[in-house]
Structure 1
Amino acid sequence: MKDIKKKLLVYAHYYHPDVASTGQILKELCEGMLDEFSITVICTVPSYTGTVEESYKKEKYYHENIKGVKVLRVAVPEFSKENKKSRIKNLIAYSFRAILATLKLPKQDYIFTISQPPILGGVLGVLGKWLKGGKLIYNIQDFNPEQTMAVGYSKNKAILNIAMMVDKFSCRQADKVIVVGRDMQETLKNRFNNKNVPRNVFINNWIDEKEIYPLPENHEKVLAFKKKYELENKTVIMYSGNIGLYYDLENLIKVIERFKDRDDVVFAFIGDGTKKKDIESYVTEHNMDNVKFIPYQDKSDLIYSLNAGDVHWVVNAKGIKGISVPSKLYGVMAAGKTVFGVLEEGSEARLIIEDCNCGICIEPGNYDLIYQELKDVIENIDKYKQLGIKGKEYVDKYIKKDVAIEKYSREILCEVEKLTEVENKERMSIQETKNV
């Protein structure tokens, strides 16, 4: 029987089994929309850590089927997250081969792209629309070049201006822009000075509440995780996720240093990123024995690592408000854990935390207050641990995976139906003119 589902092409950059948060979100989104769409994903071979397995070094393209989603992987060179040139080479290779892969596909009804890689993700969506037709949905997970400018990663004004111009063009070409925070809608409006703002909607990212949920402190696998990484019988203050540019971790580690003589507390960093080596060096240099670095965990083990923490950092550097939403928040809340937020007032993550009172929030850059509040949390840990369950209740009510995915399906179909209706009216008008 001929497949009557509409064709949806997704540019994902990273996709399962890569541990990038956007890759995991897109996997769940694609699999959740299979009832509505026939989906093809164009992404890299697994390479989020910078390395590529030998089995993915033989060909330029790999065709896979993951739970009904057609996955077309493109080969990319290995890279170092600390080396700008190698990263740029990797991104260009992905973008170029993704375009060539697009040419191999039939016409599409819809194109869905995200803002990863920065700027290039939007460009791929536009090219996909031009090459294969269909309506373009641009999902902005992070605004760039605003994010780059906020942390001073690049100060080349000419390049930043060109990047802004290109991404604004991608927004204009999109039939709908989907952002992941209320504050991000304001950023989109400001980009266009509140004039001719592209059609947009806000949908929170999510967590699969069936995969991440609270476990008893004496759960066998939680205890095993703590034993493996020397977290036993201590208050565990955890950071789980990308140890990268946008979180001010190189300054927060200096706050943590003030607790280095506390043998009843351990600070656990789970993940990897461009700032990890710098932070590791600082910890070694300053003899911070109660700081532990732990590798990324398999998705199936994430429930145990998250439950091993008593309090979780959810942080952004100053200036990130309206640009990005730390998706790690949803996993922490789903596990029923208390949030220690270093987030700007009015930012999406902080609004959520304040809505449900699942933790505390402090303005980025106020390091003395961060120290005082962290000290209070540690010394009154039993009281603060009770806040976490409010986050779990909020997730179950407002941020369920199925609810979010249904919103995406509805917004894509609703947008296309609206546009189709307009096109039909235009055709009828033209026909009537011809008849006259």
Structure 2
Amino acid sequence: MSSRHFSQFAEELVKRGWEVTALASNRYCRYPDQKIEKREEIWNQIRIIRIWRPAWNQAHKFLRLANSIWMILGWFFKILMLPRKDVIILGTDPQFSPLLFFGLKWFVPKSKLVHWCYDLYPEAIISDGAKGASLWFARRFKKWMGWAYKRVDLMVDIGPCMRKRLDAYHHRARAETLVPWALVEPDQIESGDFQVRRKLFGDAKLGLLYSGNMGKAHDFSLFLQLARELRVKNSKVVFCFACRGNRFQELREAVTLEDSNIRFASFANEEDLEKRLNAADIHLASLRSEWDGVVVPSKFFGSLAVGKPVIYAGSENSSLAEWIREFKVGLILTDQNISSVRDEILKIAESPQQLQLSRENAYNVYRRFFSKKVVMDKWNRALRDLIQNSEREVELN
């Protein structure tokens, strides 16, 4: 999830008649030394209030935890000073933010509390292979998170696997699955830019693109195996990795001189993202099985939005695998089916008609089920139902 999602989220709520106040910090996530000078402003009819925080490096786990505590306390005291709100929506950044629900339930009991859960803590710490004191801390914090979730009135997850993990807390809140829409939503399926495509894939017959983060939750080994099998059969099927993250260097080191159909490109900025996404024929996404339900790769929705089928390397039981099967928008790659996926890709490489049908299906599925309008209409209904149900309860009492 990005700050752009929250900006668009607030804008869309305003369009639907809501009065929105957004609380943030005064520093950038990736550049903590850079400050945003305006402590408060009105932007597109949204009141933005920024809490001052120290320039702590979020890459350091203890400083990241200290930042979480700082922001939770800062937001809590700021909310107490604001006029009462009908609804308070809280995300999961910084980590352990839901602990704020303890104080909110006690001090602002008339406000409905909504949790938009787009990653799970401390599950992320455990999935990352925590050991020793970190693992001890994470396991005990699950109890605190469970108690915090029981204060929530509406629990919003971003995938069925995440719903299952949250349900295990027995939180009692109404549950909704509302996914993060694509930041790029073209009005029609567009042809790729020839120069961009050539830069990424050369003279490839079929281009497969991994664009985004290659972090600890992601895997590349199956993609490398697939690329090597395809190279033997058809060297014109080319893979390009345009990514960054904790495992990117590991990926580069795993690629050998013999991997002539594997290329690298720089991480795309937002201005170039649409051209980059359109340049490929098929997109790649991955998630290690231990991270199922802890995070959901939002790049999946960006791929469908531009009409690209997805090859997903991950568990058969994950949210992405479930959507791919349900909507027929790609292939699921496991260590058991590399040969069959290879053969299917070779067929697609020889059949432009099949590729075009796959593109049209991916695009139509996105517009019907996952677009910003569809998701925000569901958000609007869920929030208004929450308030109306509360008013009916007051009348009955």
Instruction: State which of 189, 203, 210 in structure 1 corresponds to 2:167.
Output: 189
- Cα drift, residue 421 of structure 1: 1.6
Instruction: State which of 175, 180, 191 in structure 2 corresponds to 1:216.
Output: 191
Separation in 2, partners of 1:258, 1:165: 45
2:149 is the counterpart of 1:171: yes
2:377 is the counterpart of 1:377: no
Aligned residue number for residue 20 of structure 2: 39
Aligned residue number for residue 201 of structure 1: 176
2:79 is the counterpart of 1:102: yes
> Root-mean-square deviation (CA), in Å?
3.1
Instruction: State which of 66, 80, 83 in structure 1 corresponds to 2:43.
Output: 66
Separation in 1, partners of 2:69, 2:207: 40
CA contact (8 A) 1:51 1:78 kept: no
- Cα drift, residue 201 of structure 1: 2.2
Q: Secondary structure at the match of 2:296?
A: coil
The runs of 5 or more residues in structure 2 that have no matched partner are none
Separation in 2, partners of 1:37, 1:215: 34
Aligned residue number for residue 313 of structure 1: 284
Separation in 2, partners of 1:108, 1:114: 17
Alignment CA distance shift 1:380-1:418 (3 Å)? closer
Alignment CA distance shift 1:293-1:43 (3 Å)? farther
Q: How does 1:43-122 map to 2 (within 5 A)?
A: 43-45=24-26, 47-48=28-29, 50-52=30-32, 54=34, 56=36, 62-74=39-51, 75-77=53-55, 79=57, 81=59, 83-118=60-95, 120-122=96-98
Instruction: State which of 186, 193, 211 in structure 2 corresponds to 1:240.
Output: 211
Q: Secondary structure at the match of 1:173?
A: coil
Separation in 2, partners of 1:99, 1:346: 38
Aligned residue number for residue 267 of structure 1: 239
Separation in 1, partners of 2:119, 2:218: 14
Separation in 2, partners of 1:263, 1:47: 43
Alignment CA distance shift 1:73-1:301 (3 Å)? farther
- Cα drift, residue 331 of structure 1: 1.0
Separation in 1, partners of 2:130, 2:213: 16
Provide Cα deviations, 1:227-273, integer angstroms capped at 9, x if missing partner.
5x443322322112222121223x34653673689863443333432
Separation in 2, partners of 1:206, 1:271: 20
- Cα drift, residue 288 of structure 1: 5.2
CA contact (8 A) 1:91 1:117 kept: yes
Instruction: State which of 24, 28, 33 in structure 1 corresponds to 2:8.
Output: 28
Alignment CA distance shift 1:163-1:199 (3 Å)? same
Aligned residue number for residue 339 of structure 1: 310
2:192 is the counterpart of 1:231: no
Alignment CA distance shift 1:190-1:212 (3 Å)? farther
- Cα drift, residue 389 of structure 1: 2.0
Aligned residue number for residue 294 of structure 1: 266
The runs of 5 or more residues in structure 1 that have no matched partner are 1-20, 427-436
- Cα drift, residue 138 of structure 1: 1.0
Provide Cα deviations, 1:349-389, integer angstroms capped at 9, x if missing partner.
222211221211134xx2x6336624652574244633232
TM-score between both structures, scaled by the size of structure 2:
0.84
Separation in 1, partners of 2:188, 2:124: 31
Provide Cα deviations, 1:81-107, integer angstroms capped at 9, x if missing partner.
4x4344434444443443454354333
Letter in structure 2 aligned against 1:201:
E
Separation in 1, partners of 2:243, 2:64: 19
Letter in structure 2 aligned against 1:270:
A
Provide Cα deviations, 1:27-78, integer angstroms capped at 9, x if missing partner.
2221111133211111234634x2246453xx5x622333222222334525
Aligned residue number for residue 298 of structure 2: 327
Alignment CA distance shift 1:85-1:392 (3 Å)? same
Alignment CA distance shift 1:103-1:256 (3 Å)? farther
Alignment CA distance shift 1:55-1:224 (3 Å)? farther
Separation in 2, partners of 1:271, 1:254: 15
Separation in 1, partners of 2:359, 2:54: 41
Q: Secondary structure at the match of 2:20?
A: strand
Aligned residue number for residue 121 of structure 2: 144
Instruction: State which of 235, 241, 249 in structure 2 corresponds to 1:277.
Output: 249
Alignment CA distance shift 1:177-1:270 (3 Å)? same
2:396 is the counterpart of 1:425: yes
- Cα drift, residue 405 of structure 1: 0.7
Letter in structure 2 aligned against 1:32:
E
Alignment CA distance shift 1:53-1:378 (3 Å)? farther
CA contact (8 A) 1:241 1:272 kept: yes
Q: Give aligned pairs, total.
A: 386
TM-score between both structures, scaled by the size of structure 1:
0.77
Separation in 2, partners of 1:380, 1:255: 19
Provide Cα deviations, 1:175-228, integer angstroms capped at 9, x if missing partner.
111122233333223233xxx6332222333236744752113xxxx234335x
CA contact (8 A) 1:150 1:320 kept: yes
Alignment CA distance shift 1:418-1:23 (3 Å)? same
Aligned residue number for residue 162 of structure 1: 140
Percent identity of the aligned residues? 18
Letter in structure 1 aligned against 2:148:
S
Alignment CA distance shift 1:79-1:308 (3 Å)? farther
Separation in 2, partners of 1:150, 1:142: 12
Separation in 2, partners of 1:37, 1:375: 51
